[in-house]
Structure 1
Amino acid sequence: MSVFENAALIGAGLVGPQIGVVLAQGCGRVRVFDQNPANVERALRDMRTYVDELAAEGLLIGDPDAVYPRIEAATSLEEAVDGVEFVLEAIFENREAKEALYGKLGQITDPATIIASNTSGIPIRHMADACTHPSRVVGSHFVLPAHILPLVEVIKHPKVDEEAIRVTRAAWEKMGKSAITVNVDIPGFVHNRLQHGLTRQAIELFATGIASAEDIDNAVRYGFGARFISVGPLGGRDLGGIINHAKVAAYLYAQLDDPENLAANHLAEMSKQGKDGVRAGQGFHTWTGTPETLRDFHYEKMIWLVKQMREIGSVITDEAEIPGG
C-alpha cells in the first residue's frame, strides 16, 4: 500500500531527483516539475539510474519495474500538484523565490495537502508564512546524496500542525529513511549546525597551517567519525564519562570560538580564486579526473557504509538489547 497515492516533486536540480527516487519507492505516482523543461528530462534519466543503483545494492524498496512507472513529468506547476496529497519542494536556496512559490502553492493545492521544503538552512516559518494554511507546511531536509544517506530532518515551525509533522515523519520512515524531529525552527536545523561546526574548525586548522587537508580529513575518518557510526557525539560523551569530558571542555571550548570569522573568510577567498573543489580540480585537495567519476566512486563507498549502518541499527543504551547478549 502506498504511503501517498499522489505526490509532487518541485525542483529538479541535483538533490531533487534523488529525493524523487525516495518518493517513488513509497508513492503511487510522483509528478516532477521544474521551470526548466531540460532539467525535468535530465531528472527522469537520473532517477532511473538511481533506481537501478539502489536495486543493484539491495537498498531499493520494491522492484525496479514497479518503481519506474510511478515517475512522471509535469509540464506546469498546476499539473504537478493537481490532486496530490504531498508536495516536496527542492528549488534553489533563495528565500524570495521559495516564498513566491509557496504563495502560489497555497492557492492551487488542497488545504489538506502537506507541503515540505528541503531547504538546508532557511527557516521554515518564512515559507509557511507565505502559504495559505501555513500549518500544513513542514521542513524535510535531506543530506546529499539523498537517495543513499538515510537522514531526513523533519522540522517544525511556530504555526505547524503536529499531525503534519507526525504524518511526514512516518511517511519518510516507511520510505526507508531515518527521520529526526527538529523542534525549533533555527537556521541550519540540527544536521547543518553540527556539520558546519565541525567544518569551521577543520577550515581554521587548515588555514592556520596546523595540519594538511589530508591529515585533517583523516583525523575525522579514522577517529571519532568511525566511532559516531555506533554512537553519536552525546552518547560518546556518556561512554567516555561526563566528568572527564567536563574537565576537557572547561579549557578547550573557549578556544574554539572565532570572533574574526577566519573559516568563512578563507572560504570566500577560495571562491574568488575559483577553487571550487572537484568541479575545478582544486579545493582543499587536488582532484584529477571527471567530477562524475569521482562522485560515483565516493557514492559507492557511502552505499557500502549505509548497508553496514542498517546492520548496526539505532544507538543501544540497554544491555538487554545487545544482540547475542
Structure 2
Amino acid sequence: MAVCDTLVIMGGGVMGRGMARLFAKAGMRVTLVDVRDIDFVHPGVTLAHEPPGEPVPDLVIEAVFEDRDVKQSVFARIEACYGGRPVLATNTSGLPLDELGASLTYPHRFLAMHFYQPADLFPLIEVVRGARTEDSAMAVAEAAVRRAGREPIVLQRAVNGYLINRLQHSILHEAYHLLESGIATAETIDKVAKLLLGPRMCITGLLEQKDLAGLEMHAQAQRSIVPTLSHTGVPSAYLQDMVARGDVGVGSGRGFYDWHGRDGAAVQRRAAARLERLLAYLQKDEAE
C-alpha cells in the first residue's frame, strides 16, 4: 500500500503555503522551499532555500509561477538532487502536462496535482496521469491527498486545463463575451453566478440537475442556444487588453470592478471565511 510521509513543496507563494498547511496538519513532514526569505510559520513545516538532502521525500510538488522554463528548471534541480526516487508533481493546469515533462529523465515518476485556491480549504484535488506515469507514482499522490483528508479527482489522461479549469474557463469565456458586448454588467453576471448558478450547482451539480429536470427540454435548448455562444477558439481580447493596460484587479486598483478606496484584503478575508463556512455546511449536509 502506498504511503506518503515526507513532502517537499517547491515555491513559497500563496499556493505553496496553502499546500504546506494542508499536509502539515495531516502529520506529514513538510519542507517548503523558496529562494526568497519568506515570512511563514506553521507547525510541522520547515523552511529552506534548497531541497533537503535527507531524508529523500516521498513526494515533491512544484508550485512556482506559470512559466514553462521556470518549472522545468525546478524539475531539473529535483532530479539532480533525488534522481527518480520521489514522485514529482506539478501544480499547473494551464500548461500541457506531457510537454512540460518532455525533458525529464524519470518521466514515469511525473504527474500533476492541481489544487484549487485556497489550497488548504477545498475538499477535492485533481491527480492527473501523464503519458508515461507509472501506477506506483499515482498511488503515492493519491495516498498523500487522502492522508490530508481530501478526495482525489483522478484523471487517467491529461487534457489541458484538466477538469476544473476547463469547466471554469468555458463559463468565463462566455461571461467575458456578454460583458464586452454590453449585454450584462460585471455586477449582474456575478449576481447570477452567486444566487442562481452557484446554489443549484452546490446541491445537484451540472449533470444530475439535468437528469432531474428531464433531458428533453435541455436538448431542445441546446439546439437553440449553443450555436449562438462565443466559440472564438482564442483567448478573450477583452480580458487580454485589460491586463495589457495594467488593470489586473485588486493589486492595481481596477479590474472588472473599481477597487480604489476599498480594502481588497478585507474583502478577500471575508470571502475566505464565508467560503470555509459554506464548505463545512455542504460537507455536513452531504453526510446526513
TM-score (norm 1): 0.82
Correspondence for 1:223: 196
Deviation at 1:110, TM superposition (A): 4.8
Correspondence for 1:310: 283
Correspondent of 1:75 among 29, 42, 49: 49
Correspondence for 1:295: 268
Alpha carbons of structure 1 residues 138 and 91: separation in structure 2 relative to 1, 3 Å: same
Correspondence for 1:274: 246
1:13 counterpart = 2:22? no
Correspondence for 2:90: 117
Deviation at 1:214, TM superposition (A): 0.9
SS, match of residue 143 in structure 1: coil
Deviation at 1:123, TM superposition (A): 2.0
- Structure 1 contact 84–113 (Cα < 8 Å) conserved: yes
Task: Tell me the amino acid that sits aligned with residue 21 of structure 1.
Answer: R
Q: Which runs of 5+ in 1 are unaligned?
A: 49-67, 315-322
Task: Tell me the amino acid that sits aligned with residue 284 of structure 1.
Answer: F
**Between 157-166 and 89-98, the greater mean CA deviation after superposition:** 157-166
Deviation at 1:136, TM superposition (A): 1.3
Correspondent of 2:99 among 126, 134, 154: 126
Task: Tell me the amino acid that sits aligned with residue 94 of structure 2.
Answer: G
Task: Tell me the amino acid that sits aligned with residue 273 of structure 2.
Answer: E
- The runs of at least 4 consecutive aligned structure 1 residues that moved more than 3 Å come to none
Q: Give per-residue Cα distances to partners, 1:186-237, cap 9 Å, x unaligned.
A: 1111111110111111111111111111111111111121111122212221
Alpha carbons of structure 1 residues 188 and 142: separation in structure 2 relative to 1, 3 Å: same
Deviation at 1:27, TM superposition (A): 4.0
Task: Tell me the amino acid that sits aligned with residue 265 of structure 1.
Answer: A
Deviation at 1:72, TM superposition (A): 0.6
Correspondence for 1:160: 133
- Structure 1 contact 10–88 (Cα < 8 Å) conserved: yes
Within a 5 Å distance, the mapping from 1:122-271 to structure 2 comes to 122-259=95-232, 261=234, 264-271=236-243
Distance in structure 1 (CA, Å) of the matches to 2:243 and 2:102:
33
SS, match of residue 129 in structure 1: coil
Distance in structure 1 (CA, Å) of the matches to 2:218 and 2:28:
50
Distance in structure 1 (CA, Å) of the matches to 2:233 and 2:216:
31
| Higher helix fraction (1 or 2) | 1
Alpha carbons of structure 1 residues 228 and 80: separation in structure 2 relative to 1, 3 Å: farther
- Structure 2 contact 177–230 (Cα < 8 Å) conserved: no
Deviation at 1:71, TM superposition (A): 0.7
Alpha carbons of structure 1 residues 243 and 29: separation in structure 2 relative to 1, 3 Å: same
**Between 271-280 and 133-142, the greater mean CA deviation after superposition:** 271-280
- Structure 1 contact 137–160 (Cα < 8 Å) conserved: yes
Distance in structure 1 (CA, Å) of the matches to 2:152 and 2:286:
13
Deviation at 1:113, TM superposition (A): 1.1
Distance in structure 2 (CA, Å) of the matches to 1:163 and 1:123:
22
Correspondence for 1:286: 258
Task: Tell me the amino acid that sits aligned with residue 217 of structure 2.
Answer: N
- Structure 1 contact 19–147 (Cα < 8 Å) conserved: yes
Correspondence for 1:89: 62
Task: Tell me the amino acid that sits aligned with residue 266 of structure 1.
Answer: Y
Determine what percentage of the aligned residue pairs are the same residue: 26
Alpha carbons of structure 1 residues 313 and 195: separation in structure 2 relative to 1, 3 Å: same
Deviation at 1:127, TM superposition (A): 3.7
- Structure 1 contact 156–182 (Cα < 8 Å) conserved: yes
TM-score (norm 2): 0.92
SS, match of residue 243 in structure 2: helix
Q: Which runs of 5+ in 2 are unaligned?
A: none
Distance in structure 1 (CA, Å) of the matches to 2:50 and 2:112:
23
Distance in structure 2 (CA, Å) of the matches to 1:142 and 1:188:
12
